[in-house]
């Protein structure tokens, strides 16, 4: 089968088309004939050498795929060969076939193509885990997501709006601000030209924001503490501006803020299966009803994975970048 290998750690040019033996469906796994795979920021970090694959996982990039079931492993129930499937894998998505724990697989929502479905797992798993499971966002509360036009951002805006939250977002251009508001944000802020703390305060009718999802870190940590409501919850999923910051924790204490940080990939198969089950029950129906829609920025053939990474590194895209295996 064709795969994309990381020949050495470095820039996009290290992504090379290669041939490997097709994997098999192990116990508790599905073998998926991959039609499309999502490109995500962790792929970039792994390519650079800073996010190694966990023990037992494929060394290939690719954390989400969509396609059809090619084989069903021992002990797996509820799946048949030929069924449409999307999955949050532990790696190995940049390939024509990949094996995934069956608990991390979901049916492709009715009406979606494989390309659209490949944009779902990584971001939906991440947002549900951090915003709804950890931070407990509820209807009627306020929500702020940084990086509103990233894959995570476009998902978080729509999921939060769908449950009845008042959504705010930050983005890096006026075009991206408009995209966030089209997706459902009541107010989006261009962080390059405005102080997002003051802009949100000027628009919001309450003293603070209930839930904040951040992938920036750095000086945003202090700003998030300042903007959070009493009993507010802040979830960090990355620290793109740096893992170190000088922080005054007094607002966290006086406002009783809950701060959490997590990464999805090292979590157990059981934990990811629980997330998949919750998504299928609570959000897959909303996708099928059209209340949440995939946002695809660009698609590239598998052989052009390097170009897909180059686009992601510009941060100019709005939504998800997808690789396709078809001719």
pLDDT tops 90 at residue 174: yes
**Contacts with 269 (C-beta within 8 Å, 6 or more apart), sequence order:** 101, 103, 104
Average pLDDT of every residue of the chain: 97
Report the candidate in 17, 39, 124 with the shortest Cα–Cα distance to residue 317. 39
57 — alpha (psi -120 to 50), left (phi > 0) or beta? beta
Contact 226, 121 (CB under 8 A): no
Say which CATH class 124-261 falls into. alpha beta
Q: Give domain limits for the chain.
A: 2-120+265-324, 124-261
Tell me what percent of the residues of the chain surpass a pLDDT of 90: 94
pLDDT mean over 169-175: 97
Grade residue 327 by pLDDT with cuts at 50, 70 and 90: low
pLDDT mean over 245-274: 94
Measure the CA angle with vertex 64, ends 261 and 137; round to 5°: 40
Q: Tell me the CATH number for domain 2-120+265-324.
A: 3.90.180.10
CA–CA dist 326, 36 (Å, integer): 8
pLDDT 10s digits, 58-74: 999 999 999 999 999 99
E strand or H helix that includes residue 15: strand 15-19
Beta strands in 102-251 (DSSP E): 105-107, 142-145, 166-171, 187-190, 209-214, 228-236
Bridge partner list, 85: 67, 107
Contact 19, 303 (CB under 8 A): no
Contact 320, 119 (CB under 8 A): yes
What confidence score (pLDDT) does residue 51 get?
A: 87
pLDDT 10s digits, 108-127: 999 999 999 999 999 999 99
Judged by average pLDDT, the poorest of 48-52, 108-112, 289-293 is: 48-52
pLDDT 10s digits, 207-216: 999 999 999 9
pLDDT tops 80 at residue 300: yes
pLDDT mean over 5-20: 98
Tell me 120's DSSP state. S
Bridge partner list, 51: none
What confidence score (pLDDT) does residue 113 get?
A: 98
């Amino acid at each position: 089968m064709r795969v994309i290998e990381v020949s050495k750690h470095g820039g996009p040019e290290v992504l090379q088309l290669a041939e490997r033996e097709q994997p098999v469906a192990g116990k508790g796994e599905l073998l998926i004939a991959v039609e499309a795979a999502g490109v995500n920021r962790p792929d970039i970090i792994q390519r650079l050498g800073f996010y190694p694959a966990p023990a037992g996982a494929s060394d290939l990039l690719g954390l989400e795929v969509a396609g059809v079931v090619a084989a069903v492993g021992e002990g797996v129930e509820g799946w048949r060969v030929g069924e449409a499937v999307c999955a949050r894998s532990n790696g190995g998505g940049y390939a024509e076939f990949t094996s995934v724990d069956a608990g991390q697989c979901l049916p492709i929502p009715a009406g979606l193509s494989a390309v659209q479905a490949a944009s779902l797992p990584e971001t939906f798993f991440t947002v549900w885990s951090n915003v709804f499971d950890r931070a407990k966002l509820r209807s009627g509360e306020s929500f702020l997501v940084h990086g509103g036009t990233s894959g995570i951002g476009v998902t978080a805006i729509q999921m939060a709006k769908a449950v009845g939250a008042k959504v705010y977002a930050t983005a890096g251009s006026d075009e991206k601000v408009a995209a966030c508001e089209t997706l459902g944000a009541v107010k989006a802020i261009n962080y390059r030209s405005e102080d997002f703390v003051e802009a949100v305060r000027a628009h919001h009718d309450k003293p603070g924001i209930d839930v904040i999802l951040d992938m920036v870190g750095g000086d945003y940590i202090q700003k998030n503490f300042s903007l959070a409501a009493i009993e507010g919850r802040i979830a960090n999923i990355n620290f793109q501006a740096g893992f170190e910051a000088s922080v005054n924790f007094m607002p966290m204490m006086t406002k009783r803020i809950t701060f959490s940080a997590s990464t999805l990939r090292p979590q157990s198969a059981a934990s990811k299966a629980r997330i998949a089950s919750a998504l299928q029950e609570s959000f897959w129906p909303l996708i099928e009803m059209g209340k949440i829609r995939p946002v695809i920025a660009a698609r590239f053939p598998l052989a052009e994975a390097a170009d897909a990474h180059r686009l992601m590194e510009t941060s100019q895209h709005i939504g998800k970048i997808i690789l396709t295996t078809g001719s």
